[in-house]
Amino acid sequence: MKPLHISEAPFGTTLTGIPVHLFTMVNGNGMTVKVTNYGGIITELHVPDRDGKLADVTHGFDSVTPYEGDVPYFGALIGRYGNRIAHGKFSIDGQQYQLDINNGVNHLHGGSQGFHKQVWKAKPFMRADEVGVTLQYTSLDGEMGYPGKLQVEVEYQLNNANELRVLYRAVTDKPTVVNLTQHAYFNLSGEGDILDHQLQICADRYTPVDTGLIPAGQPATVAGTPFDFRKPQAIGSRIHADDEQLRRGLGYDHNLVLNKPVAGLLALAATLRDPKSGRVLELYTREPGLQFYSGNFLDGSLQGKGRTYAYRSGLCLEPQHFPDSPNRADFPSTVLRPGETYTTESLYRFSAV
Ligand code: GLA
């Protein structure tokens, strides 16, 4: 087996004139992960199929320039708050805050200049059992409307078990809210749509939404609904069902409440399997929720890496706290206070059957 390896190359210059880099991690099986310090974005993810043949299973571009445009968060690190906050408003300790509004009347994925649009400091590393890159970003007090200077560190690690681990850490100097996630799109065939992919999610409940995709009411059982992925289901099998929640999401765009015996435990959240190539992705996370988004807004207008990103050509599985948690005392808290350290972790394990 070849040793784990990491290399660095230029990835273009931002519109503001900052040169950014691409870090290429390769493991002994040839699995390759490419990450840029612009937005902490995973740009390529090459994994073997059942015959050992590699394919790139994620959506992305060949240089930084297209990522600076209007892109639906391809491969990006999302922060300061992944998913939606109703009307971009919340309060902590009686103090009200107003965030950037960038999704109808709501705040989405940290705002128009969220962490996915920022240049991170990057340090590659090579250890005995893994290679990777450590990314750091300081989000200033008031950025996108959030209180407190937040110092964020995210580490991507690749090992020889075909596992990509993402470790998140943040500290603040004022009370704030934090909900970091990874927004990679997956297509385990590396082509076509994802409707035949088999998905299993370890969730008995989900959070039904209003027409602005803000959780409405209490988490509901998935039993008897198209959101029941407790047994593996083809994504396309019920996506056209006569269901008000699917109509609101224009397909799947919902948070599932992960079954967790212990809060914060690194546990299996979802298994995605492509019958065609045999590729399997198992996603483990310490987060309480998982946003399943079925690529409903992809429309073929974006192209990159020699591909066209067509309707439902990719899906996202975003480990997270629940949407709109800052306004929901009944949801697990996303408040971070000075002196505390925010930490979370997700693990993407690839295999083939
Ligand atoms: C998330 C949101 C979706 C959409 C996609 C990107 O999954 O929940 O509504 O914004 O990102 O288009």
**What percentage of the chain exceeds 90 in pLDDT?**
99
Q: Do 250 and 320 meet the contact criterion of CB atoms below 8 Å apart?
A: no
Q: Are 195 and 239 in contact (CB under 8 A)?
A: yes
197 is catalytic: no
What span, in angstroms and rounded, lies between the C-alpha atoms of 35 and 56? 13
Phi, psi of 228, rounded to the nearest 5 degrees = -85, 100
116 as an active site residue: the answer is: no
Residues counted in the chain: 353
Mean pLDDT of 203-208: 98
Q: Find all residues with CB under 8 Å of 271, minimum gap 6, and list them.
A: 199, 200, 232, 280, 281, 282, 283
Q: Is the pTM of this model over 0.85?
A: yes
Tell how far the Cα of 249 is from the centroid of ligand 1, in angstroms: 9
Q: Which residue has the tokens 């929640």?
A: 245
Q: What is the CATH number of domain 5-352?
A: 2.70.98.10
- CA–CA dist 185, 102 (Å, integer): 21
Give the Cα separation of 204 and 228 in Å (integer). Answer: 7
pLDDT for the residue 285: 98
Taking 90 as the threshold, does the pLDDT of residue 1 lie above it?
Answer: no
Which residue ranges make up each domain of the chain?
Answer: 5-352
Atom of ligand 1 lying closest to residue 318 CA: 7
Considering only the C-alpha atoms of the chain, give the largest distance between any 2 of them, rounded to a whole number of Å: 58
To 5 degrees, how large is the angle CA 227–CA 231–CA 234? 70
pLDDT in tens, 104-132: 999 999 999 999 999 999 999 999 999 99
Structure tokens at 164: 């990509």
Q: Is 185 annotated as a binding residue?
A: yes
Establish whether residue 346 lines the binding site of ligand 1, counting it when its CB lies within 6 angstroms of any ligand atom.
Answer: no
pLDDT at 340: 98
Query: Active-site residue among 143, 155, 287, 318?
Result: 318
Cα-based angle 290, 294, 298 (whole degrees, multiple of 5): 130
